[in-house]
Each structure stands twice: as C-alpha cells, then as structure tokens.
Amino acid sequence: MSETNTSALPPAIFLMGPTASGKTALAIELCQRLPCDIISVDSALIYKGMDIGTAKPTAEELALAPHRLIDILDPAQSYSVAEFRRDALQAMAEISAKGRIPLLVGGTMMYFKALIDGLSPLPESDSTVRAGIEGRAKQSGWQQLHAELAVIDPQSAQRIHPNDPQRLLRALEVYELTNRSMTELMSIKSAPLPYRVSQFSISPADRKVLHDRIAQRFQLMLDAGFVQEVEKLRQRIDLHLNLPSMRCVGYRQIWQYLEGDFAADEMFEKGVAATRQLAKRQLTWLRSWDKIFSLDTFAKDNLTQVVKLSKLHI
C-alpha cells in the first residue's frame, strides 16, 4: 500500500519490548497526552487470577489507563494467535470508531506479527488425526514420517528436523486435514492491517541493566506474594504444568518449587533465568522487525519521540 493510501487510514501505535523494559509506564504516559486506549498484547495477562507473576498493571494504573484483553480467560483455558488477532482487530475497530487511537502494548511478538503480517488459513488441530500420525510414528519411526513429508511437502521437510516430532506432526496433520501442504497454506495471508501503524520498541541500551531489572522485579514479585498466588492456583484440580497458563515464566518454576523439585534459592535462580531467556527471545524478534523506532528505557524524551514520530498532532 502506498504512503498516500496509508495516510488516509486511522492511526494506531504499537509499543513492544522485552519484559521489564518500561512499556506500561510509557503507555500510561501516552494515554495522558494522546486520546489513546490500550489493548494488551500479552499472552500471560489474558488470565484471571494471575496478577503478580505476570506484572499485571495495578488497580491504580488501570484506573488511569484501562487495558483491553486483560483478565479475559480462566487459566484452564487456552487462547490461540488467531483468537487474539480476531479480538484485537475488534477492539481496534471499536476504539477507532470513537475517534480514539488504539495503543497496542506488550511483549508477545507472535501476536504483533499476526496483526501486521496476517495469518495463514491453517486448520485447527484434530486429536483423531494426531493420534493416527503418532501411532504410525510409533510403528515406523519419525524418520520414516519425515521421508513421507519430503514427498508431499519438500520445503517443510527441509525446514523441519527429523528429530522434531512436534513440528513434523503438525506439518503432516495439516496435509491430512486439507490435502494441501503447509508451505502452500503458509503463503496465503490475511488482508493487510487497515491502520496507519507507528511501531516502537523500548528497552535499556545496556543488556546487563535489563538483566538486573528482571532479577529485581522477580524479587519484588516474590515479596508481593507470588508464591502464594501459585499455591492458590495449584489447589485447583483442573490446572497442571502442561497448560499454556502454567508454562508462563515464573509460574512453572514456583510450581516445581512447591512440588519439592528444588529449594527456594534455586527457584529464584531458575525463575530469573527463564525470564531473561524470554527477554532474549523478545529482543531477537525485535532485531529482525521492519519499520520500528527504538527507544531507550531511560531516555527523558520517549513520550515526545512517540508523538513526533507517529505524526500525531494533537
């Protein structure tokens, strides 16, 4: 779409960044300066009852700047990227219809990517088809199934290692369900996002500073009752470690600590290490991102920069 065409579209602001980088604080400042409404882009904040370990905005922060797509699911439920895209687009349309600016804030890069690039029409998983493929794998071995994939979808077979059963299973499942290869379906994308999007990332310039902030924040979470929060979740018979909610960083490590798998000091180290790994993955995504303005967490003019670079004259 040309620059001329995009200028007629309603504006939207995307504010991304690794965990503990200061996204929420800047977003709330933006809401004081611009007619913005926040949409959370975070796969952990969607869950009710998971407040401390997800660094969910406080009641005071939410009063200043309400967030959409927070507390929308029970931890026993799952939420797909496609469902996020649907809900985010609906929220963006409602905000724009009021003459306000959607401000999408978070660190779940896959969600941002789904909004910007669209999604391919891949089918939902089918437990019966999966069970059949897994049965064949048990009988013939994943190497044989990889050879089958090489015939029906050579590009996927080249991309997927024979020792990666999860991705191999998905590629074969897609073919069995649609009679079309994953490569073919992945080349089909949704319509372009109907917004003039200004994209920003925020993080400390020094990686060590980010690591220190992550450790400090994890300690603050523990002081605020993070262990007790997980203890309460563990009392529910419908929750277990294989659920997406319980795989969130910090929750898994504290759950295992409560199971007696390791001591408190090791739980702290593992929780911090998992959070740092998450931040590393987020930064890797951002380094490959197109058309994004980088902001330093500690810069004094971040608010001015976002307003100026978004070309919003309010």
Report whether 165 contacts 133 (CB < 8 A): no
Kindly indicate the confidence band of residue 64, based on its pLDDT and cuts at 50, 70 and 90.
very high
Q: Both ends of the chain: CA-CA distance in Å?
A: 25
| pLDDT tens digits, 11-57 | 999 999 999 999 999 999 999 999 999 999 999 999 999 999 999 99
> In this structure, is the dihedral angle defined by the CA atoms of residues 101, 107, 111 and 115, taken in order, positive or negative?
positive
Nearest CA-CA partner of 293 in 204, 193, 202: 202
Residue 6, pLDDT above cutoff 80: no
Residue 200 φ then ψ, to 5°: -135, 145
| 145-156 burial code (b ≥16 CB/10 A, e <16) | bbebbeebbebb
Amino acid 189: pLDDT: 82
Q: pLDDT for 142-197, tens place per residue?
A: 999 999 999 999 999 999 999 888 899 999 999 999 999 999 998 888 888 999 99
Rg (the chain; Cα; Å): 21
Residue 76 has pLDDT above 60, yes or no: yes
Band of pLDDT at residue 110, cut at 50, 70 and 90: very high
Residue 113: pLDDT band (50, 70, 90) is very high
Q: Which value, to the nearest 10 degrees, does the dihedral of the CA atoms of residues 283, 286, 288, 291 take?
A: -160
CB 268 within 8 A of CB 219: yes
pLDDT band at 5 (very low <50, low <70, confident <90, very high): low
Q: Estimate the share of the chain in helix, then strand, then coil, as percent rounded to the nearest 5.
A: 55, 10, 35
d(CA 275, CA 280): 9
- The reported pTM is 0.85
Dump pLDDT digits (tens) for 215-259. 999 999 999 999 999 999 999 999 999 999 999 999 999 999 999
The predicted-structure confidence for 183-201, as pLDDT tens digits, reads as follows 999 888 888 899 999 999 9
Set out the domains of the chain in order of their start, with CATH numbers: 3-119+190-309 (3.40.50.300), 127-186 (1.10.20.140)
